[in-house]
Amino acid sequence: MDMSEYKDIFKAESEEHLQQLNESLLGLEQNPLEIEYINTMFRSAHTLKGMSATMGFSTIAELTHEMENLMDMVRKCQVAVSDSLIDILFECLDTLEALVESVDTGGEVNISHLQATLTQAMEGALCAVEATGNIASSLAGTVSINTQENLKPAHETEMHIQLSESENADIETAHHEGNRILELKVMLDPSCVLKSARSTLVLINLSKMGKIIKCMPSEADLEDEKFGFEFSVVFATKEDDARITEVITKISEIKAIDISALYACENDETESTIKEDTRESQKCSSGVKRSESVKSIQSVRVNIERLDNLMNLVGELIINKIRLNQLASDINAKSLDESLANLDRLTNEIQNEVMEARMVPIDQVFSRFPRMIRDLAKSEGKQVDLVIEGKEIELDRTVLDEIGDPLVHLLRNAVDHGIEPTGERIKLGKPVAGFVGLSASRQRNSVIIEVQDDGKGMDPGHLRDIAVKKGIMNREEVDKLSDTDALNLIFVAGFSGAKTITDVSGRGVGMDAVKTKIEALGGTVKVSSVPGQGSSIKLQLPLTVAIIQSLMVTIAGETYAIPLANVVRDVGIKARDIKTIEGKEVILLRGEVLPLLRLRDVLDCPGEAEKKENLIVVVVERMGSNIGFVVDQLLGQQEVIIKTLDNKLLKNTRGFAGATILGDGSVALILDIATLI
Amino acid sequence: MAKIMIVDDAAFMRMVIKDILKKNGHEVVAECVDGLDAVQKYPQFKPDLVFMDIVMPNMEGTDALKKIMQMDPSARVVMCSSIGQQSVVTDALKSGALDFIVKPFDAAKVLEVIGKVM
């Protein structure tokens, strides 16, 4: 069977289970007695085992199998939840994550060390259990895939039929009632995995046709799998051999059945037939509390590409609708009004529905942070309480995919640079555990994500000093900065607030990269901080990236869209006020030197610009500083639907975020300020 | 051709089983995400056969089996188990499950079981 087509869904679902395992394990660490966490982990490990075995990923199957066994022992109170156990399990989850990840690449992950640790954890517990004299049930829990073959076929050798008095009496009675007394030898297929269950199925089917007088080995041993691949039954029945053979061989994994008549019976040895209570362990596991009220959600998985296509088509539809409106007004066709109004309403509804369908709860990103913060705090010897709010807030999938890394960076900063070491916190009279808050909230058409901490905060004066030391600005310049602007220095490329670069932060993306990323999404970043009390970084993100608010301008007769997120303001200037510094045009605006760029030149438009005295300048913000774009004409604000330029021919185009189609059917390019200059 | 209901909390497993069944001319009339879902959907769809996973949230397969057998003593339920669950499977068989398959299974195993219990 070719399983490769299932790889994607396998990965996606495995990742969900891993997330659930991580969350439960974090919960368990906080509250080691909460049975629901243990049960959830057991179930997830079990499900992963079944899935990976089906895919043929034996390493994942082995590891999850052992985790499942360990969790089973935990829930039966045979293993205590200790710090070391939690650590082992976290290591398991990390390894599993790597294994699931390597499914595509086919890379090998060595798990033998981890398996040894797991076995040790279980064996250690076993010894303890043995001391309390409760071995039987725990043994069942530690049979791993590999050791299953090692089970001794204790009773496989020749079986003598030894009947007890009561069994003899049973035979007597059955014989009198006109039954034939048979000895059945049932042989299982060697590929049979659950021998005990298979033998039970045989016994159930037999008991429908007659009376089972004796099993060899005993029924209890059969259920415990204490037999090889065959067992015998003394059976009283009125059915003929052919019928019995038919019924039994109809059961899967039965290799053969051998029937022989049994008339005489020697012997009088008494044998106790007390059945062990094999159900004991089961009772324990089924006594688990469950919530019965959970309603299943009707949902389907849809490839994100489909949704992108759908969004694109809706965009086309809207553009055509706008054209239609324009045409209708051009020809003054009043009769079209009503149906056009309907079309308007319907396209708006479709657009909203598609946008909703692309929305996913922000929890998909947030959920990995508790684990990250825990590890981070542990490695730095700090205590941190992460408080997450608003994880149900929904965001466009595309936006969500992009904010993961920036948030990781902000949270790392909060723990690494924000929260003080425990000793220092005590000295300052702050709570021992530092507070890191991560919250999401919806504000009209945007989502606000805030990362807060109650750590040492940022000192504007200190930031000014760093800026000077790093040569970003000179002393005179920094002294002119307001405190808010000084805080914004952290977003300047090449600026790192860390006194020493540690393992955790101060590598990978910097704050400038965070800002660039958020702005590329059409969002904004704001920082505030009170020295000694903590910092807060607020990200404002658009709900969707498919539609953006733009300022429409014309340059050399062409229409262009400038994303409103980049626009600071527009101003009219006089050509005679333009000065030059080192050959570059600038203008003094509200006491600030504003570099000017003529978009006509930047975009290399053909033709000459007419010499005008009154010029229109759009001031945009880029990397923390302002630039003025000289444009020909302002057309006003408009919502535009982005058509990305990601096909082969255009994907390397710089300076444009995409294109949009205007109501009159013409195309306008959307400027990407970050790559334009 | 049989009308079959699949009960498994893993969408992946449901997909694998469903594809096997559909490729071999069977009709999947319902898919359930847990035992509770199965108990609710069974009377609604009256399937000829149920493939029932065991370890699931909200209601385990063995409990769902018992509830379904109460509703319809002639219900045909096949348990989908993993290695290491002999006692649970044995219990399920005693409660009326007709057969079981062990993960990982292939198409041949699934079809064999259908042939045997139908």
Per-residue pLDDT tens over the stretch B89-111: 888 888 999 988 888 888 888 88
CA-based nearest distance A373→chain B, Å: 28
Which residues on B lie below 8 Å from A193 (Cβ)? 83, 102
The whole-number pLDDT of residue A263 equals 58
CA-based nearest distance B68→chain A, Å: 16
The CATH classification number of A169-266 equals 3.30.70.1110
B36 contacts A53? CB cut-off 8 A: no
* Nearest residue in A to B96, CA atom: A204
A613-656 confidence digits (pLDDT tens): 888 999 988 766 788 999 998 988 877 877 777 667 776 777 88
B59 contacts A292? CB cut-off 8 A: yes
Placement of tokens 């969707």 in the chain? A544
Q: Which residue has the higher pLDDT, A670 or A148?
A: A670
Q: Which helix (H) or strand (E) holds A35?
A: helix A35-55
Residues of A designated catalytic: 46, 68, 413
- When pLDDT is averaged across residues A408-431 and rounded to a whole number, the result is 89
Q: What is the DSSP string of A263-320?
A: -----------PPP-TTHHHHHHHT------PPPP------HHHHHHHHHHHHHHHHH
- When pLDDT is averaged across residues A290-317 and rounded to a whole number, the result is 69
Q: Which of B24, B82, B101 to mutate to test the interface with A (most CBs of A within 10 A)?
A: B82
CA-based nearest distance B52→chain A, Å: 13
Amino acid sitting at position A341 = A
- When pLDDT is averaged across residues A573-578 and rounded to a whole number, the result is 86
The CATH classification number of A4-145 equals 1.20.120.160
The whole-number pLDDT of residue A72 equals 85
- The residue extents of the domains of chain A are 4-145, 169-266, 306-358, 361-542, 547-676
Whole-number Cα distances in Å, A530 to A422, A457, A483, A536: 20, 6, 11, 9
The whole-number pLDDT of residue A341 equals 85
Q: A303: which 2 tokens?
A: 């490839």
* Nearest residue in A to B36, CA atom: A292
B107 contacts A204? CB cut-off 8 A: no
Which residues on B lie below 8 Å from A290 (Cβ)? 57-59
CB atoms within 10 A of CB A147: 10
- When pLDDT is averaged across residues A321-326 and rounded to a whole number, the result is 80
Q: Is the pLDDT of residue A403 over 60?
A: yes
The CATH classification number of A306-358 equals 1.10.287.560
Q: Which residues contact A563 (CB under 8 A, 6 or more apart)?
A: A522, A548, A549, A550, A551, A657, A670, A671, A672, A673
- The residue extents of the domains of chain B are 3-72+84-117
Evaluate if pTM is beyond 0.90: no
User: In this predicted complex, what is the ipTM?
Assistant: 0.78
B90 contacts A51? CB cut-off 8 A: no
Which residues on B lie below 8 Å from A3 (Cβ)? 16
Q: Which of B5, B9, B12, B37 to mutate to test the interface with A (most CBs of A within 10 A)?
A: B12
Contact by Cβ (8 Å): B113, B101: yes
Q: Report the top-level CATH class of B3-72+84-117.
A: alpha beta
Long-range contacts of A672-675 (CB under 8 A, 24+ apart): A672/A520, A672/A563, A673/A562, A673/A563, A673/A566, A673/A620, A673/A622, A674/A516, A674/A519, A674/A520, A674/A622, A674/A623
Q: Which residue has the higher pLDDT, B41 or A82?
A: B41
Average pLDDT over chain A reads 79
> Which of A40, A51, A296 is nearest residue B12 as measured by Cβ atoms?
A51
* Nearest residue in B to A43, CA atom: B55
Q: Is the pLDDT of residue A130 over 50?
A: no
Q: Is the pLDDT of residue A348 over 50?
A: yes
Which residues on A lie below 8 Å from B20 (Cβ)? 1
> Which of A46, A61, A279 is nearest residue B55 as measured by Cβ atoms?
A46
Which residues on B lie below 8 Å from A41 (Cβ)? none
B100 contacts A194? CB cut-off 8 A: yes
Cα–Cα–Cα angle for A473, A476, A478, rounded to 5 degrees: 50
Radius of gyration of chain A (CA): 37
Which residues on B lie below 8 Å from A195 (Cβ)? 86
* Nearest residue in B to A194, CA atom: B86
Q: Which of B7, B16, B63, B87 to mutate to test the interface with A (most CBs of A within 10 A)?
A: B87
Q: A370: which 2 tokens?
A: 């508790």
A vs B: CB pairs below 8 A: 128
A140 contacts B13? CB cut-off 8 A: no
Rounded to whole angstroms, the Cα distance separating A477 from A491 reads 17
Q: What is the CATH T-level fold of the domain A361-542, as seen in this structure? A: Heat Shock Protein 90 (3.30.565)
Q: Is the pLDDT of residue A136 over 60?
A: no
Which residues on B lie below 8 Å from A55 (Cβ)? 104
CA-based nearest distance B79→chain A, Å: 11
DSSP code, position A4? G
CA-based nearest distance B28→chain A, Å: 16
CA-based nearest distance A429→chain B, Å: 45
Q: Band of the pLDDT at B63, cuts 50, 70, 90?
A: very high
Q: Band of the pLDDT at A85, cuts 50, 70, 90?
A: confident
A365-389 confidence digits (pLDDT tens): 898 899 889 888 888 888 899 999 9
Which residues on A lie below 8 Å from B58 (Cβ)? 290-292, 294
* Nearest residue in B to A45, CA atom: B55
CA-based nearest distance B110→chain A, Å: 11
A53 contacts B104? CB cut-off 8 A: yes
Q: Band of the pLDDT at A157, cuts 50, 70, 90?
A: very low
- When pLDDT is averaged across residues A658-677 and rounded to a whole number, the result is 82
Q: Report the top-level CATH class of A547-676.
A: mainly beta
B99 contacts A251? CB cut-off 8 A: yes
* Nearest residue in A to B109, CA atom: A252
* Nearest residue in A to B34, CA atom: A296
> Which of A6, A40, A282 is nearest residue B87 as measured by Cβ atoms?
A282
